[in-house]
């Protein structure tokens, strides 16, 4: 628990809440369920605040120390044995670290590429609520420039990337500060609206205490009514170690579970028990950001549509992973409308979404009303309006490019192409491998990416003695082969094809 002395501040803040409560209910046009909630405490009782697990809270504390030792999944990092991270870095023959550093960078690249490509059903039609903590703890400067600025910046990037990868998904943004939740952006499919809402820093200025329960309830209210075929998710960025809740948060967790809403969280401070519990109970992921880069990675991991839970998982071993026998939850037939696009120079008419006079737009084929942007739900008849390209954009989640395997030197012979199949960069020459097996043991863990002859020989020897793949998945010959077409590619193309292109240049 944090030092009790800090409570005095909270009491003052809590007293201010009831006044704002009415505003909040008026502002919210879709969150009807809030009226049913127990009202926020009128007394200055701090509620279920300070759920932080004791060691984590102590580590963070109220003092100004900014510990970088964040909690990991297994125990706390300070309980683990000391890791001599610098032992992993080795100099090469010329005493330079360049090779080692490059290998680490390449290893990261490769790791990102090696995604799970097993065919699973994915909740393509996503509805996600991005929940942002706007409490005063977001002003901490342990991440540069501070948590708040960084969060807004990453959130904007996330929104852009989210709509790029999930073109028929929708997003809403909810913030929480001073013990209440506020809707920052309505559920919708328009990138510009969301990004402009996030750009308004003055409106989002962090202050007071966050309320996890209020925020979750508000998020739930905008997700609960959706049909079962949509995947419902909440992604929370939480900087505070405490939360100021009006009721029992475990009830909220139970309702979230019942509504099959998946909650994922990225904590900027420490592993807090209640935050983790929300995530584990609802099937989401919980992570603690170690630094700026890791924070970004944690967020962006959640960009691809999630695999659908349940019986589908077990069927993953089958050819296409889909059971034909029974109706499975999440499978549904959806009605979608493909609109008529009006050219920009057509006669201006009023649009149904903003009531603005505009030339361009799309006509709903069912009711004939005009909307500015697709994909969206028709404001008049409610049908989902999409373009065929939006559907096409989602196909790569369903038919991903299979992972390419690292190629060892022993598989490289005269017949294999001397350059990358797609970008034509020459591969390094195959070293004379007569003595490869002999001097393998000497160099130990020193693995280089096929640049230095001796290091490459070492890796080749490793491969031949049974240690087929090193941890990083890097190829000693810097070749990566597609199993289907058998062509060899370089690491850059590997990353580009799997992250952006989603087409194997050799197979198509």
Partner 1 sequence: MPEPSKAPAKSTDVANAGFSHLATKASSGQASKNSTDFLVLIIDVNPLSWASNFSLSSQASIASRELESVLDAILIFLNAHIAMQHENGLAVYAASLGLAKLLFTTAPFASKGDLGGSSEAIKSKPDANTYQHFRHVDNAVLQGIRKMAREVSEKDQTDTASNQATLGIVSAMSQALCQLNRLTMTDQTGSEQSLSGKTPGTLAAKSSMSSRILILSATPDASTQYIPMMNCIFGAQKKGILIDVCKMFGDDTVFLQQASHLTGGSYFRLDEQLGLLQTLMSAYLPSRSIRELLNLPNQDEVDFRAACFCHRKIVDIGYVCSVCLSLFCEPRPQCLTCKSKYPQSTLERFAQENQNRIK
**Binding site residues, partner 1, CB under 8 A:** 121, 124-125, 164, 229, 320, 322-324, 326-328, 330-338, 341, 343, 365-366, 383, 387-389, 391-396, 398-399, 418-426, 492-493, 496-497, 500-506, 508
Q: CB nearer to partner 1: give 123 or 208.
A: 123
User: Which residue in 179, 175, 178, 125 sits closest to 155, CA to CA?
Assistant: 175
What is the phi/psi pair of residue 266, to 5°? -120, 115
Residues 232, 77: Cα–Cα separation, whole Å? 32
Least distance in angstroms from the C-beta of 126 to partner 1: 11
Q: CB nearer to partner 1: give 360 or 454.
A: 360
Q: Which DSSP state fits 426?
A: B
The Cβ of residue 359 has, within 10 Å, a number of other Cβ atoms equal to 12
Q: CB nearer to partner 1: give 56 or 315.
A: 315
Least distance in angstroms from the C-beta of 430 to partner 1: 15
Least distance in angstroms from the C-beta of 282 to partner 1: 21
Cis bond before residue 375 (omega within 30° of 0): yes
Residues 461, 479: Cα–Cα separation, whole Å? 17
- Classify each residue of 368-400 as buried b or exposed e, where b means 16 or more C-beta atoms within 10 Å of its C-beta: ebbbebbbbbbbeeebbbbbeebeebbebbeeb
Q: CB nearer to partner 1: give 425 or 468.
A: 425
Least distance in angstroms from the C-beta of 192 to partner 1: 17
Residues 207, 137: Cα–Cα separation, whole Å? 8
Helix runs in 372-428, H state only: 388-398
Least distance in angstroms from the C-beta of 60 to partner 1: 35
Least distance in angstroms from the C-beta of 40 to partner 1: 38
Q: What is the pairing mode between strands 231-238 and 261-267?
A: parallel
Q: CB nearer to partner 1: give 276 or 390.
A: 390
The Cβ of residue 36 has, within 10 Å, a number of other Cβ atoms equal to 8
To which H or E segment does residue 149 belong?
helix 147-165
Q: CB nearer to partner 1: give 50 or 497.
A: 497
Residues 233, 34: Cα–Cα separation, whole Å? 19
Cβ(168)–Cβ(386) below 8 Å: yes
Q: CB nearer to partner 1: give 250 or 396.
A: 396
CA pseudo-torsion sign 94, 437, 494, 309 = negative
Tokens 């096409």 locate to 392
Least distance in angstroms from the C-beta of 312 to partner 1: 9
Least distance in angstroms from the C-beta of 160 to partner 1: 11
Q: Is 179 left (phi over 0), alpha (psi -120 to 50) or beta?
A: left
Least distance in angstroms from the C-beta of 9 to partner 1: 42
Q: CB nearer to partner 1: give 159 or 461.
A: 159
Cβ(103)–Cβ(472) below 8 Å: yes
Least distance in angstroms from the C-beta of 420 to partner 1: 8
Q: CB nearer to partner 1: give 185 or 482.
A: 482
Q: CB nearer to partner 1: give 213 or 394.
A: 394
**Contacting residues for 366 by C-beta, under 8 A, at least 6 apart:** 337, 378, 381, 383
Residues 503, 404: Cα–Cα separation, whole Å? 12
Go through the chain and tell me how many residues it has.
Answer: 508
Residues 404, 480: Cα–Cα separation, whole Å? 6
Least distance in angstroms from the C-beta of 443 to partner 1: 29
Q: CB nearer to partner 1: give 53 or 121.
A: 121
């Amino acid at each position: 628990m944090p030092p009790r002395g800090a409570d005095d501040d909270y009491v003052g803040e809590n007293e201010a809440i009831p006044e704002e409560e009415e505003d909040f209910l008026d502002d919210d046009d879709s969150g009807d369920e809030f009226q049913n909630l127990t009202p926020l405490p009128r007394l200055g009782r701090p509620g279920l605040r300070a759920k932080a697990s004791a060691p984590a809270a102590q580590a963070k504390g109220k003092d100004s120390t900014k510990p970088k030792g964040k909690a990991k999944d297994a125990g706390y990092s300070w309980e683990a044995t000391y890791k001599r991270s610098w032992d992993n870095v080795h100099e090469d023959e010329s005493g330079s670290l360049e090779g080692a550093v490059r290998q680490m960078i390449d290893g990261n690249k490769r790791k990102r590429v090696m995604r799970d490509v097993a065919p699973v059903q994915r909740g393509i039609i996503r509805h996600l609520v991005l929940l942002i903590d706007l409490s005063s703890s977001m002003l901490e400067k342990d991440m540069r420039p501070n948590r708040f600025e960084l969060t807004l910046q990453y959130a904007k990037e996330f929104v852009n990337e989210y709509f790029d990868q999930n073109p028929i998904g929708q997003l809403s943004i909810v913030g929480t500060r001073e013990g209440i939740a506020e809707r920052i952006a309505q559920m919708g499919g328009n990138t510009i609206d969301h990004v402009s809402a996030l750009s308004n820093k003055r409106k989002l200025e962090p202050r007071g205490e966050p309320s996890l329960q209020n925020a979750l309830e508000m998020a739930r209210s905008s997700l609960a009514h959706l049909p079962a075929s949509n995947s419902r998710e909440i992604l929370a960025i939480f900087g505070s170690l405490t939360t100021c809740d009006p009721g029992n948060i475990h009830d909220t967790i139970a309702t979230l579970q019942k509504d099959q809403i998946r909650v994922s969280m990225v904590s900027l401070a420490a592993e807090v028990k209640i935050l983790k519990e929300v995530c584990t109970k609802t099937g989401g992921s919980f992570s603690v950001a170690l630094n700026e880069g890791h924070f970004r990675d944690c967020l962006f991991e959640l960009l691809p549509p999630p695999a659908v839970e349940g019986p589908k998982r077990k069927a993953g071993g089958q050819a296409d992973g889909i059971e034909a026998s029974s109706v499975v939850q999440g499978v549904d037939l959806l009605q979608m409308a493909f609109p008529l696009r009006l050219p920009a120079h057509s006669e201006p008419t009023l649009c149904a979404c903003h009531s603005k006079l505009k030339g361009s737009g799309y006509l709903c084929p069912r009711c004939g009303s005009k909307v500015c942007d697709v994909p969206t739900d028709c404001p008049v008849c409610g049908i989902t309006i999409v373009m065929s390209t939006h559907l096409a954009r989602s196909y790569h989640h369903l038919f991903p490019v299979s992972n390419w395997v690292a190629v060892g030197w022993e598989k490289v012979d005269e017949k294999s192409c001397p350059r990358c199949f797609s970008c034509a960069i020459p591969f390094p020459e195959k070293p004379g491998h007569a003595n490869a097996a002999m001097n393998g043991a000497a160099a130990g863990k020193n693995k280089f990416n096929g640049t230095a002859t001796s290091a490459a020989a070492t890796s080749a020897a490793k491969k031949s003695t049974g240690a087929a793949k090193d941890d990083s998945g890097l190829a000693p010959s810097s070749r990566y082969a597609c199993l289907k077409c058998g062509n060899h590619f370089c690491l850059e193309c590997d990353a580009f094809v799997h992250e952006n292109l989603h087409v194997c240049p050799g197979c198509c």
